[in-house]
Amino acid sequence: MSSAKVSTSGLVIKNRVVPVSGVEIVDFLDVPGLALAPEDGQKRRTRWVRMQILHTTKGIPHHRNRTPQRVRPGAGPRDGRDRALASYWQRDPRSSAAHGVIDVDGSVAQLADLVLDKTFHAGNRGVNEFSIGWEMFQEGDGSLWESTLDAQVALVIAVGRAFGIQFQIHHPYTGATVPRLVDGGADCVGVFGHRDVTSNRGHSDPGDMIFDRLMDAGFEAFDFSAGEDREVWKERQEQLGLVTDGIPGPQTVARLREAGYRGSIWVLGKQCNDDDGKPEDGPMETRVCEFPCPLRSLAQLLV
Ligand SMILES: [Zn+2]
């Protein structure tokens, strides 16, 4: 019997490949040339990955380049620009990288394990430690392809469900960073832009369009600079009978899972029960999962 690896498209999460519906993913296990150079990532120390940070490769428009950010309909050409970027990062002596790059055709190159590895994408030690970083490939004029945005939304949702990272963003963006993120983001759970962490890039790292799409998909908008997220979560934690620190961390995620919330995500609501007492859309746990608690919801991605 052959022991050859069967190639499956998916995200590598703690050495396991998890398919994401509708997204083609090539990873560093299949293509060793995609793996990060040592200066671009390290083993993660925390067991609590709490944020996803979104980037655009060029960060334009910004204050020096005011080309409007626009969307190109459909998908760009399949010419392997994500892999070219991975290879550039490998040769580049600076510490620069991300966990994944989304190409103009909507395909994804994954360069590091989402659980085991941290990557140097945010220029902030705390944020890098606590987060997963995604780069959307931009054309030279700053435009993004619809397929890139669609794939980014799908990845953010899939990873949010796998990790129990709540579906919430910082909004509105006023041109300023979020002080809590600048301080390392230890109490920040959700999906943020590089622009929320640093003023060294422009507002278009990653721009408004991806956040508009996430809100259209049902993500909640909180002003993290004003602490809106923590006020709302204190009320929710009280309802759930938890310590009310306002941070939806591992204990809150575990309680949401126990209470039947899909993917341990508040906005996804509870499983519906029909008359025979079984969930309408099948059992939540269909397989034994070896991951720590937030990752038990991985099974729900396998649809
Ligand atoms: Zn960036």
What confidence tens digit (pLDDT) does each residue in 177-211 have?
999 999 999 999 999 999 999 998 889 999 999 99
Q: How far is the CA of 95 from the centre of ligand 1 (A)?
A: 13
Residue 41 to residue 37: CA distance in whole angstroms: 7
Q: How far is the CA of 195 from the centre of ligand 1 (A)?
A: 7
Q: How far is the CA of 206 from the centre of ligand 1 (A)?
A: 7
247 CA to centre of own chain: 18
pLDDT at 283: 38
Q: Is residue 94 part of a domain?
A: yes
Q: How far is the CA of 132 from the centre of ligand 1 (A)?
A: 12
Q: Is residue 18 part of a domain?
A: yes
Give the mean pLDDT of the chain. Answer: 85
Those residues whose C-beta lies under 8 Å from the C-beta of residue 76, and which sit 6 or more positions away, are 103, 104, 105, 139, 145, 147, 148
Cβ pair 170, 190 in contact under 8 A? yes
pLDDT at 30: 86
pTM of the predicted structure, to 2 decimals: 0.86
Q: How far is the CA of 121 from the centre of ligand 1 (A)?
A: 7
Structure tokens, 2: 């052959």
272 CA to centre of own chain: 27
One-letter identity of residue 173: Y
Count up the domains in the chain and report the number: 1
Pick the residue with more confidence: 288 or 234?
A: 234
Q: How far is the CA of 128 from the centre of ligand 1 (A)?
A: 12
Domain extent for 196: 11-61+69-228
pLDDT at 93: 57
Q: How far is the CA of 147 from the centre of ligand 1 (A)?
A: 19
Q: How far is the CA of 264 from the centre of ligand 1 (A)?
A: 28
pLDDT at 281: 46
Q: Is residue 264 part of a domain?
A: no
Q: How many residues does the chain have?
A: 303
Mean pLDDT of 233-246: 97
Q: How far is the CA of 59 from the centre of ligand 1 (A)?
A: 7
Q: Is residue 270 part of a domain?
A: no
Those residues whose C-beta lies under 8 Å from the C-beta of residue 131, and which sit 6 or more positions away, are 49, 50, 51, 52, 53, 118, 121, 122, 185
Mean pLDDT is lowest, of 11-15, 103-107, 253-257, 284-288, for: 284-288
One-letter identity of residue 38: P
Q: How far is the CA of 137 from the centre of ligand 1 (A)?
A: 11
pLDDT at 153: 97
Residue 154 to residue 148: CA distance in whole angstroms: 10
Q: Is residue 180 part of a domain?
A: yes
How many other CB atoms are found less than 10 A from the CB of residue 288?
7
pLDDT at 84: 75
Q: Is residue 269 part of a domain?
A: no
Residue 214 to residue 260: CA distance in whole angstroms: 23
Q: How far is the CA of 138 from the centre of ligand 1 (A)?
A: 12
Three-state DSSP class for residue 152? helix
Those residues whose C-beta lies under 8 Å from the C-beta of residue 245, and which sit 6 or more positions away, are 230, 234, 237
Q: How far is the CA of 270 from the centre of ligand 1 (A)?
A: 35
pLDDT at 5: 44
Q: Is residue 42 part of a domain?
A: yes
Report the percentage of the chain scoring pLDDT > 90.
Answer: 68
Q: Is residue 283 part of a domain?
A: no
Residue 155 to residue 23: CA distance in whole angstroms: 8
Phi and psi angles of residue 178, each rounded to the nearest 5 degrees, phi first: -95, 115
Mean pLDDT of 275-284: 43
- The CATH number of the domain holding residue 197 is 3.40.80.10
pLDDT at 250: 97
